[in-house]
């Protein structure tokens, strides 16, 4: 083999074959163990279900992982390996929770009516409520002639319609709910819908914003923002119910929530939109971009591309919903233009000065993010198959 080319003589082939058979055997055992573990965790789920305990128990999870990491270390296994494998297994177990259903916190509620129940998020909540034993009715745009009958005896009316029509719908159509019925919404802005609900309905009111898309398989570890409206004790069961599904509740004032969302949603969605538009206008050669792309850039392209696989109306609504978003978007443009002048003047030192200013502002978060993103990038690289 003088030139170092790959060769595969018979001995090498036989050795590799033998080792691969042994690995096959290990993997069989691995599959059996995974099956066994999923079954045991399902039994834990069933016990929790009958006791009405939440499926996600952060402290228990952290304690278990710490123990496993220590055990791994004594065996010369990287602690992060067992942690990653177990986290993946836990995800699978959370997904399977749906098979046993969930504890019903409020048994004498009466009906739940989901307005906009045929949308994706409405369907997800309908499914979760049904799995928890509630009687769920869906009300969609064509069902308004049956609305009065549906609302009769309802214990919860949950609004999840496009953001552009939410307030109008609440004011026009939800004036005749039973006084003790809870009125709640899932809109991604909160100030205006909360005001509309409090004005229209005299009973309990609560605003919710699930910080995840309808394509999550499980509520476990997902965040739901809660804005309190009126008569909190009346909807306390609803918050407990969402916790049992595995979500983490974050309480917030509507105004503070909306301000954060301008930066999170409107500005970021808009930049991503322009990034896609820019690639399109430049007639970027996507195939060669992808061919060259490092994990980090593949991840970024994927985050841009995913936007355009979704409904333009949804994004238009989010971006057009808040007047203040326009300010956040313009501010970004102004900062971009100003930073570009630094570039155009060739002032490298000034660029570095600003960079340092931002680094300082991020403080400890910058290295923390670097650490976090490294784990993400490794996992993106794992997914590569060619």
Q: Which residues are bridge partners to 156 per DSSP?
A: 112, 182
What 3-state DSSP class applies to 76?
coil
Contact in structure between 319 and 269 (CB atoms under 8 Å): yes
Place of tokens 């309802």: 154
Minimum CB–partner distance for residue 70 and a second copy (Å): 11
103-107 CB contacts, 8 Å cutoff, 24+ apart: 103/48, 103/49, 103/50, 103/51, 103/52, 103/53, 103/132, 103/244, 104/132, 104/133, 104/134, 104/241, 105/52, 105/132, 105/237, 105/238, 105/240, 105/241, 105/244, 106/155, 106/237, 106/238, 106/241, 107/133
Minimum CB–partner distance for residue 92 and a second copy (Å): 5
Minimum CB–partner distance for residue 306 and a second copy (Å): 4
Minimum CB–partner distance for residue 259 and a second copy (Å): 8
What 3-state DSSP class applies to 199?
helix
Find the length of the chain. 386
What would the x/- binding string for a second copy be over residues 253 to 272, using CB under 8 A?
---xx--xx-xx--xx-xx-
What would the x/- binding string for a second copy be over residues 297 to 326, using CB under 8 A?
xxxxxxxxxx-xxx-xx-xx--xx-----x
- The sign of the dihedral angle between the CA atoms of 250, 208, 48, 79 is negative
Place of tokens 């995913």: 306
Minimum CB–partner distance for residue 290 and a second copy (Å): 8
Rg (CA), the chain: 26
Residues 75-114 that bind a second copy (CB under 8 A): 75-78, 81-82, 84-92, 103-107
- Which position among 71, 168, 172, 199 is part of the footprint of a second copy (CB under 8 A)? 71
Residues 143-202 that bind a second copy (CB under 8 A): none
- The sign of the dihedral angle between the CA atoms of 3, 7, 9, 11 is positive
- Which position among 192, 222, 231, 249 is part of the footprint of a second copy (CB under 8 A)? 222
| Residue among 146 and 343 whose Cβ is closer to a second copy | 343
| Residue among 130 and 293 whose Cβ is closer to a second copy | 293
| Residue among 52 and 175 whose Cβ is closer to a second copy | 52
Residues 317-376 that bind a second copy (CB under 8 A): 319-320, 326, 328-333, 335-337, 339-340, 343-344, 346, 348, 351-352, 354-359, 361-362, 365-370, 372-376
| Residue among 148 and 337 whose Cβ is closer to a second copy | 337
Residues 10-69 that bind a second copy (CB under 8 A): 12, 15-16, 19-20, 22-24, 26-38, 40-41, 43-44, 47-48, 50-54, 58, 61-62, 64, 67-68
Minimum CB–partner distance for residue 337 and a second copy (Å): 6
Minimum CB–partner distance for residue 331 and a second copy (Å): 6
The footprint of a second copy on this chain (CB under 8 A) covers a number of residues equal to 180
Beta-carbon contacts of residue 192 (< 8 Å; ≥ 6 apart):
166, 167
- Which position among 133, 237, 249, 324 is part of the footprint of a second copy (CB under 8 A)? 237
Pairing type for strands 205-210 and 223-230 reads: antiparallel
Place of tokens 């593949």: 298
């Amino acid at each position: 083999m003088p030139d170092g080319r790959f060769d595969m003589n018979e001995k090498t082939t036989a050795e590799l074959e033998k080792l691969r058979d042994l690995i096959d055997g290990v993997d069989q055992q691995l599959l059996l163990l995974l099956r066994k573990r999923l079954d045991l965790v399902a039994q834990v789920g069933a016990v929790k279900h009958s006791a009405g305990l939440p499926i996600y128990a952060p402290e228990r999870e952290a304690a278990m992982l710490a123990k496993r990491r220590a055990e791994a270390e004594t065996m010369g296994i990287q602690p992060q390996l067992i942690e990653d494998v177990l986290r993946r297994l836990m995800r699978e177990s959370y997904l399977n929770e749906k098979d046993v259903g969930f504890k019903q916190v409020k048994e004498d509620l009466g009906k739940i009516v989901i307005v906009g129940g045929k949308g994706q998020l409405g369907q997800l909540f309908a499914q979760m409520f049904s799995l928890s034993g509630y009687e769920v009715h869906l009300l969609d745009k064509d069902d308004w002639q049956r609305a009065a009958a549906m609302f009769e005896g309802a214990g919860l009316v949950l609004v999840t319609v496009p953001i552009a029509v939410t307030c109008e719908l609440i004011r026009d159509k939800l004036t005749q709910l039973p006084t003790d019925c809870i009125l709640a919404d899932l809109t991604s802005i909160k100030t205006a819908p909360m005001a509309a609900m409090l004005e229209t309905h005299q009973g309990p009111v609560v605003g919710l914003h699930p910080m995840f898309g309808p394509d999550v398989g499980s509520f476990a570890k997902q965040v739901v923002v809660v804005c309190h409206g009126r008569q909190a004790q009346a909807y306390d069961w609803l918050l407990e119910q969402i916790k049992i599904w595995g979500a983490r509740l974050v309480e917030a004032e509507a105004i503070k929530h909306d301000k954060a969302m301008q930066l999170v949603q409107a500005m970021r969605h808009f930049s991503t939109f322009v990034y896609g538009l820019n690639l399109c206008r430049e007639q970027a050669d996507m195939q060669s971009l992808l061919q060259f792309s490092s994990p980090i850039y593949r991840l970024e392209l994927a985050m841009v591309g995913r936007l355009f696989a979704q409904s333009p109306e949804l994004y238009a609504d989010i971006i057009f919903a808040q007047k203040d978003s326009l300010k956040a978007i313009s501010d970004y443009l102004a900062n971009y233009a100003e930073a570009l002048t630094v570039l155009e003047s060739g002032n490298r030192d000034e660029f570095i000065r600003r960079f340092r200013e931002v680094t300082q502002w991020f403080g400890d978060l910058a290295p923390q993010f670097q650490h976090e993103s490294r784990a993400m990038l490794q996992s993106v690289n794992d997914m590569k198959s060619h």
